[in-house]
Chain A
Amino acid sequence: MFAALGDKTRLALVRRLSDGQMHSIAQLTEGSRLTRQAITKHLRVLEGVGMVRSCRSGRESRFALNLQPIESVRSYLDLVSEQWDQALARLKDFVER
């Protein structure tokens, strides 16, 4: 997932999608120097890691952001981070005795 986010275009797409709405490729390509094809490729990468979901509306696909993967990664990192805070506090007590 980090690989998916570590790209300027994809980060920009995530930002645009963060309004919670469903967006068409045309809307997402607006104001961008990239082609429809390139934007679609990036959207598929995001879809591949579960951060974007698509649904067909008539003849076109529309895309929306799915925050659950980001939130679960953040929770996971927070958990591991907290465990380190606690372990290091114990280390401090242990060596400073």
Chain B
Amino acid sequence: MENRIEKKIELKAPLSRVWRALTDYREFGEWFRVKLDGPFVPGQVSSGHITWPGYEHLKWEAVVQEMEPEQYFAYTWHPYAVDPSVDYSTETPTLVEFRLEKTADGTLLTVTESGFEDVPSERRDEAFRKNEGGWAQQMKNIESYVAQNP
């Protein structure tokens, strides 16, 4: 079992278009489903709140680590930080890295999330319980609703 998640996706769009979608805070918010308070700045906290229907009360926060134009964008955060009564700042965050590569058809985006070894067991157990129908299923429901009602 890996302690990191890696995703690769081919996008039929130029590098600069993908870079903008990732690093412009308004564009990021549109597809990530979060409303951010301001631009991403390396070394600074980026905050906002989730815009998923039903989850709008949830705060979203990340610390931008690095931005290398059109190549690499990284931030640390607490994935699945959905309990408003928990202070996640005492937990070790995971690292999310976006790497962009130009391809013949557009852009290859690689997303890596690592650092799960430090996620506390209560967080993992919560996810285990929630997995049975909760959040993940809700997201599926919403996703298909949106796909059917563009």
Contact = CB atoms under 8 A, between A and B. Distances in A.
Interface residues of B, number: 38
Interface stretch (A24-32, A53-61, A82-90): A82-90
Interface stretch (B35-43, B59-67, B85-93, B129-137): B129-137
Contacts of B33: 87, 90
A2 B128 contact: no
Interface of B: 1-3, 5, 7, 9, 11-13, 17-18, 21-22, 27, 30-33, 79-80, 109, 111, 113, 116-117, 119, 121, 123-125, 127-128, 130-131, 135-136, 139, 143
A41 B53 CA distance: 50
A19 interface: no
A42 B11 CA distance: 46
Contacts of B124: 69, 72-73, 75-76
A54 to B, nearest CB: 19
Which size bracket describes the interface of A in this complex? Answer: 20 to 34
A84 B98 CA distance: 12
Contact of A75 (B2, B109, B128): B128
Q: Residue among A3, A77, A82 with the most chain B CB within 10 A?
A: A77
Contacts of A50: 121
Contacts, number: 100
A79 to B, nearest CB: 5
A49 to B, nearest CB: 8
**Chain A contact residues: helix, strand, loop or mixed:** helix
Contacts of A73: 1, 116, 124
A93 B116 contact: no
Contact of A80 (B17, B22, B113, B139): B113
* The 4 nearest A-B residue pairs measured at CB: A95-B13, A72-B128, A76-B127, A94-B31
